[in-house]
Amino acid sequence: MELELLKKRLERERAARKQAESILEQKAAELYEANSQLVALNENLEEEIKLRSKELSDSELRYRRLVEQASDIFFNIDDTGRFTYMNATGVHRFGYDNEEIVGHYFSEFVPDSHKKDLILHYALFMSSDRIADYKEFPIKSKTGEVFWMGQNVNRLNDDSSKPYFSAVARDISKQKILKDELELARQAAVKAQKAEKQFLANMSHEIRTPLNAIIGMSHLINDTPLSEEQGEYVDILISSTGILKNLISDILDMSKIDAGTLVLQEKEFSIEKDIKSLVRSFLHKSKDKAVTYRYEVDPKIKNEIITDQQLLNQVLLNLYSNGDKFTESGSVSLTVNIVSETVTNLNLLFSVEDTGIGIDKKEVTTVFDEFKQANKEIRSKYGGTGLGLSISKKLLNLMGSDIKLESIPGEGSNFYFELSVKKGRLLEDAKAVDKEADLTGYQGQSRMILVVEDNKLNVKYLTRLLEKWSIDFVVKSNGREAVDFCEDNFPDLILMDLQMPVMDGFEATQIIRKMDNANAYIPIIALTASTFLSKKQMAEQVGMTDFLSKPFTPDQLNTKLRIYLENSPSEVVQLNNSRFSDKLDTGYLQSAYGDDAAYSLEIFETYMEIIDDEISTLKQVLMESDDGLKNHLHKIKPIFTMVGLSHISEIVKHAEQSYSDKDNESVTSQCHKVIEETSASLPIILAEIKRLKTIV
């Protein structure tokens, strides 16, 4: 029994050993197969590595050839400022051998005059968070030639995370020369523009001074007993002097339009009354021509209109004069019709049609160019400057409209445009108000005006008006006499001419403002034939209260006198309801101007007149990157606050600080933000000017 058990046990052990040997043989075979596959894979990997290494080597070779053969200069600099690489183009342009450049400091190749600036610039760059930079500077080559190089630099890290700088640069000497030439040309243009401006100012003064007397005397004659025929002649004289005044304004307005400083001045008036006056001035002007002068105003127009009366009159006068000029027989007609109407607005179609010589189709577009007429034959026969139509088109563009023309040679022309205007008072109501507001004088008021004027005709004009309005006055012929008078006398108002012998109006006003008496606060109205902003700014700076441009009409003077004489000194021009837009710094504006809408309007209008020049200067000094930028930032910082744009003043303040910190990137960013914010705020300022005008 035990033997049987032993046999079975041995059989089981033999079977188990055979099974183990079988498994071992199988695993050995699998291991051999896996090892064979690993050997094959390793061989393939070695081939792939060899292939990739060759491709990488070829790619690096192609890149090096590209860099070496490039027309631009490529170089690397380590964090100490030494060259570690420069391509062949750079080596050739510098004029040195490669070993004379690599390993040497960048600053060694920069002229002494710019070395300090360059080192400081890149020291700031390395200490900043920026990874890219652009800089222009001169390089002194081995031959001694100095050329300008502009370079774009990128900050990188090598395999050990050590920083270095890689740059792409090029010779910009020609561009620098061109830039310098352009700057010289710009300076010459600015100089020429100043000369032109001075010429226009002088011409304006010389013409406007006698014209003021002519207009004034015409109004005074009109107030005397006249026959019906004499009255008609005087009406024509008054209308014609107004036309002459507008023609002079054409020349001055052209420069203002081009400079972007002409601002719309909306007022309420009767369009029919204006057109009737305009057309009547032509009735006696052209008696020798067989021309009928017509006008027609849509009877459905029941209101006065609100728009810029002076500019609209200039346009209509130019168009009507143009029709009259080229029409020998037939008619010139001016019509006004309603195109559409809302509760508050009218869209009007103005048309000036003549039966004159007409214009050829190919010449239609050129008649609106400055100083151009249809052709030489017309210019020779009819004369003229070629300004009227050009100015009319620009003025209409400024008013949100555009002029159109239909013409047939030999049959006539039709100039027309649509203009959107606001509705004013009903015409019947306006007539009643005008009658009540006639120049009735200041009876019952004890007022005395000091007239400081050296032109005898203007003195005559002013004094006759003051006599008519029962206002006492004293006349002085220069600023010195006015100052002496104000030492012991106290007028209620001073009408001060600006240009006078002995002492001009500016100096006289400064002295009066410093007096230790009530005259230090007296209203002083500047009288001048100049319409330029510089004169107005100077008048404000010396302490003048208001500004009246010659030639002025009796009602224009009367309006000023009512403002300053019908109120006590503490109430002068203190108008109500001048709440400012909540888009502006209302806290500052209210504290600075209170309810003085007229003063607020002056400041806002002055801002609009100067802001374009200030922003243009900012752009220029920003490119130059010198002390001019710092000075200009300091100059413009307060002007934004003065019109409630305090947030822009804050941006300027930050730009100043960045400049002091030598953070060039921040300075540039802040300046561009000033430019963008200024542009974005213009509609707000224009809306505020429009609102203030309705109060004043």
Are 291 and 331 contacting, i.e. CB atoms less than 8 angstroms apart?
yes
Structure tokens given for 468 = 């008519």
Quick one: what percent of the chain has pLDDT higher than 90?
12
Task: Please name the residues in contact with 504: beta carbons below 8 A apart, sequence gap of 6 or more.
Answer: 479, 498
Give the pLDDT confidence score for residue 218 in this predicted structure: 77
CATH topology of domain 448-569: Rossmann fold (3.40.50)
CATH class of 586-695: mainly alpha
Above 60 in pLDDT, residue 504?
Answer: yes
Distance of CA 554 to the CA centre of its chain: 34
Quote the CA–CA distance of 279 and 276 in Å, as a whole number. 5
pLDDT band with cut points at 50, 70 and 90 for residue 574: very low
Which one has a higher pLDDT value, 56 or 576?
Answer: 56
Give whichever of 454-468, 536-550, 616-630 has the largest mean pLDDT.
454-468
Burial (CB count within 10 angstroms: exposed 0-12, middle 13-18, buried 19+), residue 210: middle
Task: State whether residue 441 is helix, strand or coil.
Answer: coil
Give the pLDDT confidence score for residue 81 in this predicted structure: 83
Which one has a higher pLDDT value, 131 or 127?
Answer: 131
Q: Which residues pair with 292 in a beta bridge?
A: 331
Above 90 in pLDDT, residue 436?
Answer: no
- Among 287-291, 343-347, 445-449, which is the least confidently predicted range? 287-291
Superfamily in which the 265-436 domain is placed by CATH: Histidine kinase-like ATPase, C-terminal domain (3.30.565.10)
pLDDT band with cut points at 50, 70 and 90 for residue 15: confident
Residue positions counted in the chain: 696
pLDDT tens digits, residue range 278-326? 887 676 555 557 788 888 999 999 889 999 888 898 889 889 988 888 8
Quote the CA–CA distance of 246 and 243 in Å, as a whole number. 5
pLDDT tens digits, residue range 218-244? 777 777 777 877 777 777 777 677 667
User: Using alpha carbons only, what angle is made at residue 215 by residues 209 and 218, rounded to the nearest 5 degrees?
Assistant: 140
Mean pLDDT of 209-213: 70
Above 50 in pLDDT, residue 464?
Answer: yes
Give the pLDDT confidence score for residue 301 in this predicted structure: 92
Give whichever of 9-13, 391-395, 669-673, 683-687 has the largest mean pLDDT.
669-673
Mean pLDDT taken over the chain: 78
pLDDT band with cut points at 50, 70 and 90 for residue 370: low
Quote the CA–CA distance of 533 and 261 in Å, as a whole number. 9
Question: How does strand 412-426 pair with strand 303-307?
Answer: antiparallel
Quote the CA–CA distance of 297 and 542 in Å, as a whole number. 47
Give the pLDDT confidence score for residue 260 in this predicted structure: 58
Above 80 in pLDDT, residue 371?
Answer: no
Give the pLDDT confidence score for residue 439 in this predicted structure: 41
Give the pLDDT confidence score for residue 157 in this predicted structure: 80
Mean pLDDT of 612-624: 83
Quote the CA–CA distance of 77 and 10 in Å, as a whole number. 85
Mean pLDDT of 182-191: 79
- Among 5-14, 345-354, 391-400, 469-478, which is the least confidently predicted range? 5-14
Element (H, E) at 432: helix 427-436
Quote the CA–CA distance of 604 and 275 in Å, as a whole number. 32
Are 572 and 496 contacting, i.e. CB atoms less than 8 angstroms apart?
no
Quote the CA–CA distance of 161 and 156 in Å, as a whole number. 9
For residue 510, which amino acid is it?
Q
Q: Is the fold of 72-171 the same as that of 448-569? A: no
Give whichever of 177-181, 260-264, 447-451, 579-583 has the largest mean pLDDT.
447-451
Question: How does strand 267-269 pair with strand 163-171?
Answer: unpaired
Question: How does strand 132-140 pair with strand 83-86?
Answer: unpaired
Give the pLDDT confidence score for residue 498 in this predicted structure: 86
CATH class of 72-171: alpha beta
For helices 309-325 and 228-259, angle between their N-to-C axes, nearest 10 degrees: 110
Mean pLDDT of 243-252: 65
Above 80 in pLDDT, residue 109?
Answer: yes
Q: What is the number of other CB atoms lying within 10 angstroms of the CB of residue 1?
A: 5
pLDDT band with cut points at 50, 70 and 90 for residue 461: confident
Mean pLDDT of 102-128: 83
- Terminal C-alpha separation, the chain: 138
Question: How does strand 303-307 pair with strand 345-354?
Answer: unpaired
R_g of the chain, CA atoms, integer Å: 41
User: From its phi and psi, is residue 39 left (phi > 0), alpha (psi between -120 and 50) or beta?
Assistant: alpha
Quote the CA–CA distance of 75 and 67 in Å, as a whole number. 10
Which one has a higher pLDDT value, 373 or 388?
Answer: 388
Above 60 in pLDDT, residue 382?
Answer: no
Against a cut of 0.85, is the pTM above it?
no
C-alpha dist (Å) from residue 516 to 430, 488, 511, 583, 599:
46, 11, 10, 41, 24
Above 90 in pLDDT, residue 277?
Answer: no
pLDDT band with cut points at 50, 70 and 90 for residue 507: very high
Mean pLDDT of 603-611: 84
Are 606 and 567 contacting, i.e. CB atoms less than 8 angstroms apart?
no
User: From its phi and psi, is residue 386 left (phi > 0), alpha (psi between -120 and 50) or beta?
Assistant: left
Give the pLDDT confidence score for residue 569 in this predicted structure: 42
Three-state SS for 22-83 is: HHHHHHHHHHHHHHHHHHHHHHHHHHHHHHHHHHHHHHHHHHHHHHHHCCCEEEEEECCCEE
Mean pLDDT of 375-385: 47
Mean pLDDT of 99-125: 85
Q: Longest Cα pair distance anywhere in the chain, in angstroms?
A: 172
Are 278 and 316 contacting, i.e. CB atoms less than 8 angstroms apart?
yes
Can you point out the beta strands (E) in 550-630?
Answer: none
pLDDT tens digits, residue range 625-661? 667 788 888 778 878 888 889 899 889 888 888 888 8
Task: State whether residue 645 is helix, strand or coil.
Answer: coil
For residue 50, which amino acid is it?
K
Give the pLDDT confidence score for residue 395 in this predicted structure: 87
| DSSP alpha helix (H) spans, 261-340 | 271-283, 309-325
Burial (CB count within 10 angstroms: exposed 0-12, middle 13-18, buried 19+), residue 27: exposed
Q: What are the residue ranges spanned by the domains of the chain?
A: 1-69, 72-171, 265-436, 448-569, 586-695
Mean pLDDT of 370-393: 56
